């Protein structure tokens, strides 16, 4: 029997300046995308990432749409991206008329590596979409060198990487254009929302135009191109600014939660938690566990057993090549056979509760249930 979940997989922490800033929006009447908090969030977030320009949008998926469109990618172009990620990445490429080319993930980090990317480069390749997975950065140096050698653009999806760095440099600062999500389960949330960041002034202006229906500055209702209404509201930006002010605190709490999990599960080495390669500290957007390859450990079974114990959790991403919307595309059947590692971790991986309000006793409860329902090899 399923019981009411008492330990959530995720929920935001909203006890900073969030309420004060939202009240300011209401009292001043600035609730639309024209309000001052939008600009403050754009400037503050870009500065935190070390970028010159920030363009706020209404969610992380459309941030990818805007990025792909701003780069002018289209029919005949190929974009290399991971198989193990959310469908938004491939959807942005497909909607632009370009072709996504999928690469399997690495078995230990679950990220894409330069070697796998290199094998997929063709004369039609125009861009590499890097997606940092579950709080662990991609090894960027060899990817940047690969892009330089082949003259390729890098789109960096840093949706899960608020507050994370690679070799001391903020994630989100590596792409020709980079994107973030501010969904409610991210370290910085606006409920729904996103951000595009870049150092290129021309790209930034193109993104601002695309997110605002391509209005001409001098002739408001004359549109030289087709854009979208992807604007972020002042209310959302107010929430995001308050979250940004405490980003380091929120990342520290996530890391504390994972430390608790490691303490509780250290005698169960067959339960694989988030990777932390030498010299890299994961920022733990999600607390993850991969179980031994046994039928009873498949994610659907584990999620059901957790639910019976009042614990919420969520599945890993499904490999893009298995998703019906993607499988209808040409060559998807071939791609499905190639991404063995993505299939393996998706089949036996779950995201554990890591809500920012969790305390050590909550983690102890989750770990106890996990040990009881998961089967050792």
pLDDT tens-place string over residues 32-51: 999 999 999 999 999 999 99
Q: Any catalytic annotation for residue 299?
A: no
Residue 312 has a pLDDT of 96
Mean pLDDT, range 262-273, rounded to an integer: 96
Rounded-to-integer distance, Cα 201 and Cα 47, Å: 15
Rounded-to-integer distance, Cα 237 and Cα 85, Å: 26
| pTM exceeding the 0.85 threshold for the entire prediction | yes
* CA geometry: angle 36, 42, 46, nearest 5 deg: 150
Mean pLDDT, range 305-314, rounded to an integer: 95
Mean pLDDT, range 246-261, rounded to an integer: 97
User: Helices (H) and strands (E) in the chain — how many of each?
Assistant: 14, 13
Q: Which CATH class is domain 247-373?
A: alpha beta
* CA geometry: angle 39, 128, 148, nearest 5 deg: 100
Q: At 6, is the pLDDT very low, low, confident or very high (cuts 50, 70, 90)?
A: confident
Tokens of 50: 């070390």
Cβ atoms of 193 and 56 closer than 8 Å: yes
Cβ atoms of 121 and 80 closer than 8 Å: yes
> Topology of 18-244 in CATH?
3.40.640
Domain locations along the chain: 18-244, 247-373
Q: Indicate which residue of 186, 253, 254, 299 is catalytic.
A: 186
Q: Does residue 1 register a pLDDT over 50?
A: no
Q: Are strands 165-166 and 169-170 parallel, antiparallel or unpaired?
A: antiparallel
The more confidently predicted of residues 275 and 328 is 275
Alpha helices by DSSP H, the chain: 18-28, 36-49, 60-70, 87-95, 114-118, 140-150, 201-210, 234-244, 247-265, 299-308, 324-327, 332-338, 340-348, 360-373
């Amino acid at each position: 029997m399923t019981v009411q979940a008492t330990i959530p997989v995720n929920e935001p922490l909203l006890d900073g300046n969030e309420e004060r800033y939202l009240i300011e929006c209401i009292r001043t009447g600035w609730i639309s995308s024209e309000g001052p908090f939008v600009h403050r969030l754009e400037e503050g977030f870009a500065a935190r990432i070390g970028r010159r320009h920030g363009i706020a949008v209404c969610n992380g998926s459309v941030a990818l749409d805007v990025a792909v469109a701003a780069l002018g990618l289209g029919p005949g172009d190929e974009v290399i991206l991971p198989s193990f990620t959310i469908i938004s990445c491939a959807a942005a490429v497909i909607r632009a008329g370009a072709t996504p080319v999928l690469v399997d993930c690495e078995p230990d980090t679950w990220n894409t590596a330069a070697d796998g990317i290199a094998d997929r480069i063709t004369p039609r390749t125009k861009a590499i979409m890097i997606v940092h997975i579950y709080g662990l950065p991609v090894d960027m140096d060899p990817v940047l060198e690969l892009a330089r050698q082949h003259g390729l653009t890098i789109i960096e999806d840093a949706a899960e990487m608020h507050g994370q760095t690679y070799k001391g440099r903020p994630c989100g600062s590596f792409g020709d254009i980079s994107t973030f999500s501010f969904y409610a389960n991210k370290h910085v949330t606006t409920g729904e929302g996103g951000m595009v960041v870049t150092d290129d002034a021309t790209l930034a202006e193109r993104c601002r135009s695309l997110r605002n229906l391509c209005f001409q500055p001098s002739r408001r209702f004359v549109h030289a191109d087709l854009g979208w209404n992807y604007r972020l509201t002042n209310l959302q930006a107010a929430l995001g600014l308050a979250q940004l002010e405490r980003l380091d605190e929120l990342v520290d709490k996530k890391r504390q939660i994972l430390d608790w999990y490691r303490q509780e599960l250290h005698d169960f080495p067959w339960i694989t938690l988030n990777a932390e390669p030498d010299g890299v500290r994961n920022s733990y957007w999600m607390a993850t566990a991969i179980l031994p390859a046994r039928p009873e450990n498949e994610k659907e079974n584990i999620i059901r057993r957790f639910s019976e114990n009042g614990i919420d959790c969520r599945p890993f991403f499904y490999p893009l090549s298995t998703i019906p919307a993607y499988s209808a595309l040409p060559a998807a059947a071939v791609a499905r056979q190639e991404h063995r590692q993505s299939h393996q971790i998706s089949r036996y991986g779950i995201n554990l509760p890591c809500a920012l309000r969790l305390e050590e006793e909550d983690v102890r409860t989750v770990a106890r249930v996990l040990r009881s329902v998961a089967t050792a090899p």
